Amino acid sequence: MTNLDDFQVCEGDLDEETFKRYQQADVLAVDTETMGLIPQRDRLCLVQVCDAQGLVTAIPIAKGQTTAPYLTQLMEDQKIVKIFHYARFDVAQFQHTFGVLTQPIFCTKIASKLARTYTSSHGLKALVQELEGIELDKSSQSSDWGNVSNLSLEQLSYAANDVRYLISLREKLMEMLGREERLELAYRCFQCLPVFVDLDLSHFKDIFQHK
Ligand code: MN
């Protein structure tokens, strides 16, 4: 299952050549691997970026690293849509670690929830299985990402696959959303994401709930 074609590792930030290449993109798929689910406690370990031609770059982030100028410039570039699966988490990580607000955003999990109302399975694995017909190996999901300069091939391969299908998923989900007349609602949801990120980073929980 290991497919490391069109894959590279850039320590700490993109190199200039890859940055310039990604800067020309309309869309980039992005994912992160971290030590856990709480940005203030669990540091960012790896960022994966993939363009429409399928070039995946894995960027190990050193402990204590607070800047990645090329990467963050792409995250803030208004001309490039950043595609995440569950953007709320990755965008919070970027805001906490690098102090940048990522936008514009497309979240395949929100898109799936709005388009695929016939199922409650909105995880990346289920989505890739149904829309791409590919079985994702998620066995490295809960592994130790902290040893950033010495990640295993299995971990890197897993990390690359987490971004490899997002651009194609977005196209298929946009088609479904268009058909169901929910595309505009999806975009309005994406525009709310910075608010949810701020609430999450300030430890507010469920403030839209009645209770
Ligand atoms: Mn991932």
Report how far ligand 1's centroid is from the alpha carbon of 68 (Å): 19
Q: Per the domain annotation, does 153 fall within a domain?
A: yes
Q: Which CATH number fits the domain that encloses residue 49? A: 3.30.420.10
Q: Per the domain annotation, does 53 fall within a domain?
A: yes
Q: Per the domain annotation, does 197 fall within a domain?
A: yes
Instruction: Report pTM.
Output: 0.95
Which helix (DSSP H) or strand (DSSP E) does residue 32 occupy? strand 27-34
Provide the sign of the torsion angle of the four alpha carbons 143, 137, 177, 175, taken in this order.
positive
Q: Per the domain annotation, does 206 fall within a domain?
A: no
Q: Per the domain annotation, does 210 fall within a domain?
A: no
Tokens at residue 33, please? 């691997």
Q: Per the domain annotation, does 47 fall within a domain?
A: yes
Report how far ligand 1's centroid is from the alpha carbon of 154 (Å): 13
Q: Per the domain annotation, does 157 fall within a domain?
A: yes
- What is the dihedral angle through the alpha carbons of 55, 61, 65, 67, rounded to the nearest 10 degrees? 10
The answer to whether the beta carbons of residues 65 and 88 sit under 8 Å apart is no
Report how far ligand 1's centroid is from the alpha carbon of 163 (Å): 8
Residues 6+ apart with CB under 8 A from 86: 107, 109
Report how far ligand 1's centroid is from the alpha carbon of 176 (Å): 24
Structural domain of residue 166, as residue ranges?
A: 2-201
Q: Per the domain annotation, does 63 fall within a domain?
A: yes
Q: What is the pLDDT along the chain (211 residues), one digit of tens a residue?
A: 344 569 999 999 999 999 999 999 999 999 999 999 999 999 999 999 999 999 999 999 999 999 999 999 999 999 999 999 999 999 999 999 999 999 999 999 999 999 999 999 999 999 999 999 999 988 888 899 999 889 999 999 999 999 999 999 999 999 999 999 999 999 999 999 999 999 999 999 999 999 8
Structurally, the chain folds into a number of domains equal to 1
Q: 113: alpha, beta or left, given left = phi > 0 and alpha = psi -120 to 50?
A: alpha
